[in-house]
Structure 1
Amino acid sequence: MTTPAVPSYVSGTSEKPLLGDTIGDNFDRTVAAFGDREALVEFATGRRWTYRQLAEEVNAVAKGLVDLGVGKGDRVGIWAPNCAEWTFTQYATAKIGAILVNINPAYRVHELKYVLNQAGVRTLVAAPSFRTSDYAGMIEEVRPECPALEDVILIGQEEWTSLVAIGRGGSAALLDELQAELSADDPINLQYTSGTTGFPKGATLSHHNILNNGFFVGEMCTYTEADRICIPVPFYHCFGMVMGNLAATSHGACMVIPAPGFEPATTLAAVAAEKCTSLYGVPTMFIAELADPSFASHDLSTLRTGIMAGSPCPVEVMKQVIDRMGMAEVTIAYGMTETSPVSTQTRADDSLDRRVSTVGRVMPHLEVKVVDPETGLTAPRGTPGELCTRGYSVMLGYWEQKDKTAEAIDAARWMHTGDLAVMDDDGYLNITGRIKDMVIRGGENVYPREIEEFLYTHPDILDAQVVGVPDERFGEELMVWIRMREGATPLTAETVREFCQGKLAHYKVPRYVHVVDEFPMTVTGKIRKVEMREKSVELLGLEKVAATRHA
């Protein structure tokens, strides 16, 4: 009788229990414990708040929203780059039980309209503009087609000033009463992920989901009230608002916003000036910081930890972050929006080899397993399969899309990630690929189907297939293979970019274009994207980049 193989399954244990608080109650406990400590710094403007001062702003926004008629379960959209008001709104909505709908700052008109209507956004808090995006103009353009939208509050404008002023005079007792009626299991956040059908899906997350994930991510980084976390990653994503803000406030640490959008030199300056102990980023951000001409002039000696996540990390980049930036305890995290987001993380005491070549081990109070995608059976250790995760972090479901939820979460509550992974004998995981053809460009999840369906609207395109190709800066870039209609002039990267301008978010616009007569096909008539990707690497001369080792 042979000994059965050890299955690719692990569960995360911890001496620390899960938090049973709502986000508002947990925040108030931190304010009571660390009221005089600095809580939030907006480096670009010099504005700063202690925890007590931050609570005053949060409560004012919360009471202002209540005065507008916003209540438990109502959807409040936030469409803005990183700023203090984003954070005020995040905690204010949590205190009154409104569901915060994160809207990607890169969205254009058709994406904005879809999310506002799909979520039924009642109130929208937005920046008037950011970089080349006229948010106010785009909102006015879609507003007649968004029947649920009642109020638009532009940050820094009269509407925002009025909201806060009314809130400062509002009833604290009423706010306490509303907060006391909330459950930790209530939905509190909607985060949209690009969908394979061409439409984004709203991952519905509860207080319990994201508060605990933020807390335990912070535990893995050994945060205390003495830590100062530099957060250049966007708040609209879990990386910023959960791993950044909630990890900080659940430990009494300080949140440092270097700039509204990512700027490598400003991020380095913020770390130095604010004596940050932790720095976050996707690999492309760290690459840009290490390459910045001003790098050597910044004193980064206070850094000890941080998180690199969002896309596969090149091993050499990880080593430089440790050696040149002094982040000896830097960790790699892996997860997805639907899991709040982190499922696995390396630990500060893991060996360098573990930290540069794996995505770590399962997080406390979670389970992960690797299964055979065909049979659903747990694979033996060392055998590739689909990574699944279960526990407190798994979303409540996709907003008003039960069919899509059922495709992602099985009857036993396992979230099927779609990622291929291998688990070693010690429970460490390597992500080896993706079952579906999702592309991760600079930390942004891009689904080719969405771009393909848009390109089909071009009058000269007969068919379009998008694949990811390796890229030194972004991890992956987009390449589209196009079949032209008969007699049409072949498109170029420039003409495709012009067609997409203002209609697709910039990160969804293909960088490379390859015009062909036919696509490589299987004998059953399915397009072979694996072969297309391999051929694309050859055509573009990216063999060296493709060979770069990643965690």
Structure 2
Amino acid sequence: MADTLAGLVRELAAQRPDAPAVTLGELTRTFGELDARSNRVARALQGAGVVAGDRVGVLDKNAPTFFEVVVGAAKIGAVTVGLNFRLAAAEVADVVADCAPVLVVVDPGFADLLPAGVRRVELGPDYEAWLGGPAEDPGGGDDPDAVVLQLYSSGTTGRPKGAMLTSANLLWTPRMGREFYGMDADTVNLVPSPLFHIGGAGYSLTALGQGGHTVLVRDMDPVAVLGLMERHRVTHTFLVPSVVQMLAESPALPGTDLSALRRIAYGAAPMGETQLLKAIALFGCDFMGVYGMTETAGSVVSLQPEDHDPGGPRAGLLRSVGTPLPWLELRVVDPATGEDAPVGGVGEIWVRSGQNTVGYWGQPQLTAETITANGWLRTGDAAYLDAEGHVFLHDRMKDMVVSGGENVYPAEVENVLYAHPDVLEAAVIGVPSDRWGETVKAVVVRRPGAGVDAAGLIAFARERLAHYKCPTSVDFADELPRNASGKVLKKVLRAPFWAS
């Protein structure tokens, strides 16, 4: 297999020129078309003065043009930056100021998000005219260690963090597709996660890298998504837990033919055990848990379908995200000692792998704080290992609640709350306490028509957890704030309580 992103698309275009590569709605680009159009992008970028190392932005919802730009830019050594259309204009301006793109390819509906003066090409007729020049392959993009993609965490505070990913980082993903997702050239892969996020851009390569067919979702409408799965005979997909729940509760699910569906991967946010058991029963396909992050170019841990054993002797593994992929190293490090935590001891996940980002754009100090001198990436996620090496994820280290000197991991409390039949969603945070320093608060979204109150939920938790772990207060909300990957923005929930 080719060792660069540009080389991979060239290779697939030669082998499978007429096979469908990427579909959105009624538009399908074959591998031959993707290669040819990326050549035109490369030539158009050169005509615009873009050179190797320059940044090129894409500001749009999911569309085949994202892949054209990423591959086209890579063919001349330029770097594509995925811009988050869900951000406010001021937040987009911060990212643009950080990455300084020479040019941004933008959907007209999002053009107003860009700061004045940013050079742009609007998708639609202007973009097609821009591609009207020569289609000869510029022949570049042959360095596996060259950065090809720069992705930013959504909802960041302070200076944005642009994680730089090389071809060498990203091309572990097709291997994941073959060995862990069970994909091949006949795979039809549904991608609802946004392409400015690793759960979209990186995950897409699992099937695309095999010569499989990628079906994009532009807007999250459960009925429409189920329709796409039936129409295209989707075999694989990656869904964040909130989307799994939306599809599971859609009235369209019972009438949808999902007989082609072989595997649903889930991750990017905690999934309650009750939610997971319900989904397994409803969808009737294999489920696979994954854990990873932008800085690791995607998944580094996987809970395989055979480890999903509801009601069996290994049912407890449903609370795990699985075991590390075989080509990488993983440690759980006690932050107090810097040594490996014992079995069952909670610490920070460290990963050493060819997938690890080469660093943050323009931020050498942050890079050094995140990646150790001997190549370990500090994820910031808290977890413990069992005796077999299964990773049990707790939370971000910064989300841990320290109440009266005891560590409380919100995910453990949330998993209990999700078992209550009236709870649709739950998020646990720490809030100030004069007595304990911090105390546990739950923010809960009730199911429609549910009547459970705060006292009832607290009592429910106290029957199942040590009292110091249980919420001392419960707020109810219509929805929880989330970022693009589906993770609850706990800093938004905490902010009002810690403002003073």
Is TM-score (shorter-chain normalized) higher than 0.5?
Answer: yes
- Is 2:80–2:150's contact at 8 Å kept on the other side of the alignment? yes
Structure 2: how far apart are the matches of 1:477 and 1:309?
18
Partner of 1:120: 100
1:205 and 2:165 correspond: yes
1:269 and 2:227 correspond: yes
The Cα shift of 1:217 comes to: 4.3
1:366 and 2:333 correspond: no
1:418 and 2:386 correspond: no
Partner of 1:252: 211
Give the one of 24, 31, 36 matched to 2:13: 31
Give the one of 351, 361, 365 matched to 1:403: 365
1:285 and 2:236 correspond: no
CA shift in 2, pair 1:188/1:476, >3 Å? farther
- Is 2:52–2:78's contact at 8 Å kept on the other side of the alignment? yes
Give the one of 312, 325, 335 matched to 2:283: 325
CA shift in 2, pair 1:357/1:374, >3 Å? same
- Is 1:30–1:249's contact at 8 Å kept on the other side of the alignment? no
The Cα shift of 1:536 comes to: 6.3
The residue type equivalent to 1:234 in the other structure is P
1:55 and 2:35 correspond: yes
CA-to-aligned-CA distance 1:211-245 (integer Å, 9 cap, x gap): 213432443011100110011111110011111x2
Partner of 2:298: 341
Partner of 1:72: 52
SS in 2 for 1:306: strand
The Cα shift of 1:306 comes to: 2.4
- Is 1:366–1:392's contact at 8 Å kept on the other side of the alignment? yes
Structure 2: how far apart are the matches of 1:474 and 1:124?
37
The Cα shift of 1:27 comes to: 1.8
CA shift in 2, pair 1:474/1:263, >3 Å? farther
Partner of 2:347: 385
1:534 and 2:499 correspond: no
Which range is displaced more, 46-55 or 426-435? 46-55
The Cα shift of 1:546 comes to: 7.3
1:161 and 2:128 correspond: yes
SS in 2 for 1:403: helix
How many residues are paired up? 433
The Cα shift of 1:357 comes to: 2.1
SS in 1 for 2:269: coil
Structure 2: how far apart are the matches of 1:540 and 1:400?
50
The Cα shift of 1:318 comes to: 2.1
Structure 2: how far apart are the matches of 1:474 and 1:90?
36
CA-to-aligned-CA distance 1:476-519 (integer Å, 9 cap, x gap): 4889x7xxxxxxxxxxxxxxxxxxxxxxxxxxxxxxxxxxxxx4
CA shift in 2, pair 1:88/1:50, >3 Å? same
The residue type equivalent to 2:27 in the other structure is R
The Cα shift of 1:544 comes to: 8.4
- RMSD of aligned residue pairs (Cα, Å): 2.8
Give the one of 296, 312, 318 matched to 1:356: 318
Partner of 2:450: none
The residue type equivalent to 1:161 in the other structure is E
CA shift in 2, pair 1:22/1:473, >3 Å? farther
TM-score between both structures, scaled by the size of structure 2? 0.80
CA shift in 2, pair 1:363/1:268, >3 Å? same
Structure 1: how far apart are the matches of 2:232 and 2:396?
39
The Cα shift of 1:34 comes to: 2.2
CA shift in 2, pair 1:70/1:157, >3 Å? same
Structure 2: how far apart are the matches of 1:396 and 1:93?
19
CA shift in 2, pair 1:157/1:473, >3 Å? farther
TM-score between both structures, scaled by the size of structure 1? 0.73
The residue type equivalent to 1:406 in the other structure is A
CA-to-aligned-CA distance 1:393-447 (integer Å, 9 cap, x gap): 11111111111112211222111111111111111110023211399xxxxxxxx
- Is 2:38–2:72's contact at 8 Å kept on the other side of the alignment? yes
Give the one of 71, 91, 105 matched to 2:85: 105
- Is 1:382–1:423's contact at 8 Å kept on the other side of the alignment? yes
The Cα shift of 1:54 comes to: 2.4
Listed as ranges, the matches of 1:209-220 within 5 Å are: 209-220=169-180
- Is 1:389–1:416's contact at 8 Å kept on the other side of the alignment? yes
Structure 2: how far apart are the matches of 1:326 and 1:250?
27
The Cα shift of 1:200 comes to: 2.0
Which range is displaced more, 427-436 or 29-38? 29-38
Structure 2: how far apart are the matches of 1:418 and 1:279?
27
Partner of 2:259: 301
Structure 1: how far apart are the matches of 2:233 and 2:24?
14
The Cα shift of 1:69 comes to: 1.8
The residue type equivalent to 2:392 in the other structure is N
CA shift in 2, pair 1:214/1:242, >3 Å? farther
SS in 2 for 1:534: strand
1:137 and 2:112 correspond: yes
Structure 1: how far apart are the matches of 2:342 and 2:292?
22
The residue type equivalent to 1:254 in the other structure is H
CA-to-aligned-CA distance 1:254-306 (integer Å, 9 cap, x gap): 00013x12111111000000001012210000100111121112101100112
Structure 2: how far apart are the matches of 1:143 and 1:544?
55
The residue type equivalent to 2:381 in the other structure is D
Give the one of 22, 26, 30 matched to 1:40: 22
CA shift in 2, pair 1:290/1:191, >3 Å? same
Listed as ranges, the matches of 1:144-183 within 5 Å are: 144=117, 149=118, 151-158=119-126, 160-166=127-133, 169-172=134-137, 175-176=138-139, 178-179=140-141, 182-183=142-143
Structure 2: how far apart are the matches of 1:303 and 1:316?
22
CA shift in 2, pair 1:114/1:415, >3 Å? same
- Is 2:190–2:215's contact at 8 Å kept on the other side of the alignment? yes
CA-to-aligned-CA distance 1:161-197 (integer Å, 9 cap, x gap): 222212xx2433xx12x23xx3111111111125875
- Is 2:427–2:443's contact at 8 Å kept on the other side of the alignment? no
- Is 1:203–1:338's contact at 8 Å kept on the other side of the alignment? yes
CA-to-aligned-CA distance 1:12-57 (integer Å, 9 cap, x gap): xxxxxxx6711010122222222232212213xx111222222222
The residue type equivalent to 1:350 in the other structure is D
CA shift in 2, pair 1:300/1:156, >3 Å? same
SS in 1 for 2:365: helix
The residue type equivalent to 1:424 in the other structure is D
Structure 2: how far apart are the matches of 1:345 and 1:49?
31
CA shift in 2, pair 1:473/1:400, >3 Å? farther
- Is 2:426–2:442's contact at 8 Å kept on the other side of the alignment? no
The residue type equivalent to 2:130 in the other structure is L
SS in 2 for 1:89: helix
The residue type equivalent to 2:394 in the other structure is T
Could you tell me the percent identity over the aligned residues?
A: 27
CA shift in 2, pair 1:215/1:105, >3 Å? farther
The Cα shift of 1:246 comes to: 1.2
SS in 1 for 2:202: helix
Structure 2: how far apart are the matches of 1:89 and 1:163?
12
CA shift in 2, pair 1:478/1:427, >3 Å? closer
- Is 1:345–1:363's contact at 8 Å kept on the other side of the alignment? yes
Partner of 2:405: none
Bigger RCO of structures 1 and 2 (CA < 8 A, at least 6 apart): 1
